[in-house]
Amino acid sequence: MSVVLGVSALYHDAAVALVIDGELRGALQQERVSRLKGDPRLPIAAAHAVLAAAHMTAADLDAVVFYENPFARLEHVLVSTLRGFPQTLRQFPRAMAAQLSQKLWVKDELAAGLGIDRTRIHHDEHHRSHAASAYFASGAQTAAVLCVDGVGEDTCTSVWRGDGTSLRLLSRQLFPHSVGLFYAAITAWLGFRVLEGEQQVMGLAALGSPTKLAAMERLARINVDGSIELDLSCFAHHYDHTLGFSAGFVKVFGPPRRPGKAWVLDDQGVPVDAADRHYADVAASAQHHTEAMLLALAQHARSLCPDVDTLCLAGGVALNACANGILSQRSGFARVFVQPAAGDAGGALGAAWNFGRSRGDVPRPLAHAAWGPALTAAMMVPLATACGLVSQPVVPAEVVARLWRGQVLALVDGRSEFGPRALGHRSLLAAPGPRRVQDHINTAIKRREPFRPFAPAVLRDDAAAYFDHVTDDLGRFMTGVSTTKTAWRETLGAVTHHDGTARVQCVDEHAPHLHALLQAAQAAGHPPVLLNTSLNGRREPICQGAVDVVRFLLAHPDVNGVVVDDVLLTRPS
Amino acid sequence: MLRLRTTIELLRHFVDSRRWFLLPLLLVLLLSSVLLVLTGGLSYVAPFVYALF
């Protein structure tokens, strides 16, 4: 019986997760309160927000658990520096400065920041935290767990076996042979921001053809045992963490794309510029090869756990929804599960669960992703009114009618989501077609690349009528890609990507307002499908509180209003 | 006092993992960290970090 706060921080996507007697009670990323996208700083503000929502203070905590081992991390930095000498000479002072200024002392900083005794601060291991977050969230009694990310301490990939409340490490692959850092190098070469632009690479891949697959296979070789071996002459992460790719990479694929250069597509979604078509082909090749690497790793996990039928995935690479969809269809596992905060933020949850079960607690599976502080109409209306907005009662049928008239509406429903996906609690909604709706939201509201797809939210029980290969394990948290049925691709044009795929969210009563809207759409004779994207502007975190939502509405004139509970907030006509 | 606990945990980690060859480097780093603590943060020694390494 314990009250545990899990913490991930200091690399990217800092977060906290409050677990009481094995049950998640609250979770929040620091970026939601600091308003800095991907904020890596110690999530003290997020911790206080989660504790306040649970009517607790830091004094009530039995333990605070950091999601990785700061001493093993320092050891990894020292060993990899010595191994890469003299190439690592330039990186060494910076790496040491980062370690010595804060990362090594993270447990002291947490104790000071939360105002609790240092003896209550513990640490876990990066991949063990990931593995726990995936396995215990799934609710499976037995599962193979595959963790794939950039690097955690010295490990890039690990395979675990979960049995009941135990987790056992079966194999691991050490730095620098990392699937995550392979994808990061491609991301950087394509001119996108690493740790943020990976989703852009995935979206761009649908526009190209995998014509560079042979080169990719040489770049990252898949061994017979499923392990990955990078051609290190093409990468730079092992000697300079600010560089992803090396001159060797440029020799193979040509010069990198200039960051920020606009993408121009024709009517078919093909890049007009020949150079951009080449970049799209490289993205497609990298995506195909990443899927092949993950399939090989999944088969390796299957060979280590031949008697289990569930595969749980975690780590930053598990946010690759296209690859998850492929794994779901081809890995041989009956179930493939990915929890909503599969990246480093989810490590906070795994660390808390691991500590709790060492005290005899039994982790409880995740039924939904809404674990942040709540926001209600009563909290929003006074601020909105003071800012000149108009509030009026609204019913789902009226919201649906507005959406099908071409309006774009924000939806705020209670507690915010944990993880990078908006699942109906801090969402932006529109009709699911035609395709020009996608162009409008990409250019006028999101202000991002024209090829970026939007996800469909569909009533769970009706998903199979509109999409192929939908599973509840991936659809629940929008962590896998499916295919829109051919007959519906035109009607659902705004939520179907250029290659016919769609990142489907299967909606049930856990997102009550979105569920009611989908039912209202169905009652009005429409497909029970809505375009659902995150409630945030360009390079902003998803809105959390009333101030964020009202500010977003005021800054985005193409958003027609905000639905919160049974109230519609609009600008005065 | 707080940092002493972390220093002990750090040394224990390196002893347990038998990374003896890293000890000289680790001692230099610990001395540097003492400098950081005494001066109250990285901002004071930032100009010297590159010279130290």
Instruction: Quickly count helices (H) and strands (E) in chain A.
Output: 20, 25
Q: Which of A62-76, A77-91, B39-53 reaches the highest mean pLDDT?
A: A62-76
pLDDT digits (tens, 9 = 90+) for A358-385: 999 999 999 999 999 999 999 999 999 9
| Average pLDDT for B2-21 | 83
Domain presence at residue A147: no
Domain presence at residue A14: yes
Best probe of the B interface among A64, A74, A114, by most B CBs < 10 A, is A74
Looking at the fold, whether A296 and A400 belong to one and the same domain comes out as: no
| Alpha-carbon gap: B30 to the closest alpha carbon of chain A (Å) | 9
**In whole angstroms, how large is the CA radius of gyration of chain B?**
12
Domain presence at residue A85: yes
B26 to chain A: which residues are within 8 Å by CB?
Answer: 78
More confident residue, A422 or A224: A422
Is 80 exceeded by the pLDDT of residue B13? yes
Confidence band for A1, pLDDT divided at 50, 70 and 90: confident
Interface of B with A (CB under 8 A): 2-3, 5-6, 9-10, 13-14, 17, 19, 22, 25-26, 29, 32-33, 36, 41-42, 46, 49-50, 52-53
Domain presence at residue A186: yes
pLDDT value for A14: 98
Token pair for A240 = 């300079």
Question: Which of B6, B29, B50 lies at the smallest CB-CB distance from A108?
Answer: B6
- Cβ contact, residue pair B3, A107, below 8 Å: no
Nearest CA in chain B to A107: B6
C-alpha–C-alpha distance, residues A87 and A473, integer Å: 44
Looking at the fold, whether A402 and A506 belong to one and the same domain comes out as: yes
pLDDT value for A4: 98
Confidence band for A568, pLDDT divided at 50, 70 and 90: very high
- Which domain-ending residue is among A338, A358, A382? A338
pLDDT value for A290: 98
Looking at the fold, whether A541 and A444 belong to one and the same domain comes out as: yes
Instruction: Compute the half-sphere exposure of residue A149: CA atoms within 13 Å on the CB side of its CA.
Output: 25
Looking at the fold, whether A364 and A379 belong to one and the same domain comes out as: no
Is 70 exceeded by the pLDDT of residue B50? no
C-alpha–C-alpha distance, residues A460 and A463, integer Å: 5
Assign residue A274 the CATH number of its domain: 3.30.420
Domain presence at residue A161: no
| Alpha-carbon gap: A115 to the closest alpha carbon of chain B (Å) | 13
Domain presence at residue A168: no
| Average pLDDT for A124-147 | 98
Residue A525 backbone zone (phi > 0: left; psi -120 to 50: alpha; other: beta): left
Domain presence at residue A403: yes
- Cβ contact, residue pair B5, A118, below 8 Å: yes
Q: Answer for the pair A462, A515: CB distance below 8 angstroms, yes or no.
A: no
pLDDT value for A23: 97
Q: Across all residues in chain A, what is the average pLDDT?
A: 95
pLDDT digits (tens, 9 = 90+) for A163-221: 999 999 999 999 999 999 999 999 999 999 998 899 999 999 999 999 999 999 999 99
Q: In what order do the strands lie in the sheet with A3-8?
A: A23-29, A15-20, A3-8, A63-66, A121-123
pLDDT digits (tens, 9 = 90+) for A312-333: 999 999 999 999 999 999 999 9
Looking at the fold, whether A65 and A190 belong to one and the same domain comes out as: no
| Average pLDDT for A210-233 | 95
- Which domain-ending residue is among A338, A354, A382? A338
- Cβ contact, residue pair A107, B26, below 8 Å: no
Is 60 exceeded by the pLDDT of residue B52? no
B32 to chain A: which residues are within 8 Å by CB?
Answer: 96, 100
Interface of A with B (CB under 8 A): 69, 71-72, 74-75, 78-79, 82, 92-93, 96-97, 99-101, 104-105, 107-108, 111-112, 118
| Average pLDDT for A278-285 | 98
Task: Identify the DSSP state of A261.
Answer: P
Looking at the fold, whether A245 and A200 belong to one and the same domain comes out as: yes
Number of Cβ within a 10 Å radius of residue A518: 27
Question: Which of A92, A99, A111 lies at the smallest CB-CB distance from B2?
Answer: A111
Beta partners for A459? A507
| Average pLDDT for A332-344 | 97
Residue A259, SS3 per DSSP: coil
Is 60 exceeded by the pLDDT of residue B53? no
Looking at the structure of chain A, the number of domains it has is: 3
Q: Which of A536, A508, A555, A523 is nearest to A410 (CA)?
A: A536
| Alpha-carbon gap: A101 to the closest alpha carbon of chain B (Å) | 6
pLDDT value for B25: 74
Burial class (CB in 10 A: 0-12, 13-18, 19+), A10: buried
Looking at the fold, whether A16 and A66 belong to one and the same domain comes out as: yes
- Which domain-ending residue is among A338, A359, A391? A338
Is 50 exceeded by the pLDDT of residue A432? yes
Question: Which of B5, B9, B29 lies at the smallest CB-CB distance from A100?
Answer: B29
Looking at the fold, whether A226 and A307 belong to one and the same domain comes out as: yes
Token pair for A64 = 């605070």
Nearest CA in chain A to B6: A105
Looking at the fold, whether A354 and A389 belong to one and the same domain comes out as: no
Domain presence at residue A166: no
Is 70 exceeded by the pLDDT of residue B43? no
Looking at the fold, whether A376 and A485 belong to one and the same domain comes out as: yes
B53 to chain A: which residues are within 8 Å by CB?
Answer: 92-93, 96
- Cβ contact, residue pair B46, A97, below 8 Å: yes
Looking at the fold, whether A230 and A185 belong to one and the same domain comes out as: yes
Token pair for A188 = 């950087």
Q: Answer for the pair A271, A277: CB distance below 8 angstroms, yes or no.
A: yes
Assign residue A61 the CATH number of its domain: 3.30.420.40
Question: Which of A79, A99, A107 lies at the smallest CB-CB distance from B6?
Answer: A107
Is 70 exceeded by the pLDDT of residue B33? no
Question: Which of B22, B41, B53 lies at the smallest CB-CB distance from A96?
Answer: B53
Q: Answer for the pair A108, A326: CB distance below 8 angstroms, yes or no.
A: no
Looking at the fold, whether A411 and A504 belong to one and the same domain comes out as: yes
Assign residue A404 the CATH number of its domain: 3.90.870.20
Structural domain including A92 reads 3-132+346-368
Q: Give every CB contact of residue B44 below 8 A, 6+ residues apart in sequence.
A: none
